[in-house]
Amino acid sequence: MANDTRICLNNEFFRLNFIKLRLRLTQRPAMKNLYTLNHAPINAHFSKNSSDFVVREVPLYEPSNEGEHCILLLQKKGIGTHEALRILSERTGAKMREFGYAGLKDKQGLTTQHVSMPAKFEPALGGFSHESLKILSVQRHKNKLKIGHLKGNDFFIRLKKVLPPDAVKLAAALDTLGREGFANYFGYQRFGKFGDNAAQGEEVLRGQRRLKNPKMRDFLISAYQSELFNRWLSKRVEISKFAAEFSLGEFAKIYGLSKEEAREIAAQPQFFKLLRGEILGHFPHGAFFSCDDLGAECERFARREITSAGLIVGRAKLRASGLGGRFEDEIFTPSREFEAQMNGSRRFAWSFMERVQHAYDAQNAHFSFSFYLPKGSYATVVLEEILHRDIFEGAATDED
């Protein structure tokens, strides 16, 4: 493939289109995420229903069995987290603000999650019954659940109308992602049915759009931050791909690197290349720090001890430097005029799946697979990477 690519580069038409592609990655307001795998789109039918999409929340800790709160283990079918809380509020008399939860879960599919409420409302749950909501267990706990108080989620997905050759491709893609990890993009859920949430968020920051609802304002600004993160991550995926597909000289020329910088990147054995000076984080949770000893950090990255941590632009203390900082600046510099209006942070750019399993039912043409993702990662992002196509054109959910 590298030889074919070099031949194409000699063609002026290809060069012009290549330049246009790179401009889109750094300047276009909205873009498609760049896939890491190289296969063609795979034909399969996916539907988010209670049989084919199952999510089970994995808690950060087990209830203590004592305290002033109750931890309810809920099973939901066809309703989102907020709708489930509304049902419980009407039944118990607890106010919506008195409930706590670790993360939002999809309306579609069958989902299991924990929520908390003051224990004084527990007696009102006696004999509770609802066609879309079950209470699987109730345990006492000292604290109210808060956003982020979870380890991650277990997922089960069933694809239908899968022919044998496509089943082989699906298995290979899953095995590769399970072994090497995946680009941890924000999912389509952030960007709205028409994909314009980020653009509206920028309008809010520029003072061109005024909203009375502070939660909507924060949500649109978050979509703007998320899109910038995705654009930066697409750039990093592009760098990782080109490091393997181009000669050292061509790779250095494309990105304006010295030969030593290009060699340092291309020599890394893993797909996703780390950059000197970028910000890394202890995986799956922990402190962030600068990548100074690149060789040592690549070894820890291979052991899944650390990973790359991309910028959520805003008020943030930790800045990338060196080569990592240069590539961050290409994406984030235009947005820095709004930093004072946004809370900045870091998000894992490259994440890892665990407990990956898959099976093919040739008789029914079903391909089923399951896996675990740490919090902050989207199963739909993994699925789109596997299938190489949009799975919910214009859809919107509240997946965590």
Just list the catalytic residues: 106
Q: What is the β-pairing status of strands 288-290 and 110-118?
A: unpaired
Contact indicator for 32, 383 with CB cutoff of 8 Å: no
Contact indicator for 52, 158 with CB cutoff of 8 Å: yes
Q: Which residues contact 29 (CB under 8 A, 6 or more apart)?
A: 198, 199, 202, 227
Nearest to 356 by CA among 222, 179, 200: 179
